[in-house]
């Protein structure tokens, strides 16, 4: 009985290996199209790199802003912008007392980055969701926020 199980296991492993090997021989790889941004991002390909995150503490916001600045410094381009898409922790009410100070701190730090690296237009953005209908975000989800909640920039 044990010999039969071991034989079945070995045979199935061998069969999977053979199928995988044959697939690599028979499948012809096609090159993926590439975008050449070696001379910078053209205006028609302007990009916003957004980092989704939760606002939980002042120190967390400071860390997020520092990381956003590092991303900018490592990827400077006139047509590349950076943003934070922030969310709050779940709650049974629409707003908590700690929400507003955290949101204001995040917006203030984004404004400071824009002043520091101003280039005739904003580089950094902050997008925030609010809890919809007093329901926890876990229950309300993106669809409800897009329909019934509000977006603040």
Mean pLDDT in residue range 7-16:
83
**pLDDT at site 105:** 94
Asked whether the predicted pLDDT for residue 151 surpasses 80, the reply is: no
Asked whether the predicted pLDDT for residue 146 surpasses 80, the reply is: no
**Which segment, 4-8, 27-31, 77-81, is predicted with the most confidence on average?**
77-81
Mean pLDDT in residue range 78-106:
88
**Phi, psi (5° rounding) for residue 83?**
-150, 160
Strands 151-152 and 124-129: antiparallel
Pairwise CA distance, residues 20 & 27, whole Å: 10
Largest separation between any pair of C-alpha atoms in the chain: 77
Indicate the pTM of the whole model.
Answer: 0.65
pLDDT digits 0-9 by tens, 97-136: 888 999 999 999 999 999 999 878 889 999 888 776 555 4
Mean pLDDT in residue range 27-33:
85
| Residue 10 pLDDT grade (very low, low, confident, very high; cuts 50, 70, 90) | confident
The average confidence (pLDDT) of the chain is: 82
């Amino acid at each position: 009985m044990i010999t039969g199980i071991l034989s079945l296991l070995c045979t199935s492993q061998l069969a999977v290996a053979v199928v995988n090997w044959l697939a690599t021989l028979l499948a012809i790889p096609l090159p993926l199209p590439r975008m050449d941004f070696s001379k910078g991002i053209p205006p028609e390909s302007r990009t916003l790199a957004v980092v989704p995150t939760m606002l939980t503490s002042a120190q967390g916001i400071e860390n997020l802003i520092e990381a956003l600045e590092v991303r900018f410094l490592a990827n400077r381009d006139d047509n590349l912008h950076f943003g934070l898409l922030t969310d709050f922790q779940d709650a049974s009410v629409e707003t908590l007392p700690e929400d507003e100070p955290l949101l204001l701190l995040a917006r203030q730090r984004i404004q400071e980055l824009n002043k520091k690296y101003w280039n005739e237009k904003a580089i950094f953005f902050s997008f925030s969701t609010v809890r919809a209908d007093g329901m926890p975000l876990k229950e309300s989800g993106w669809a409800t926020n897009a329909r019934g909640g509000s977006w603040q920039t």
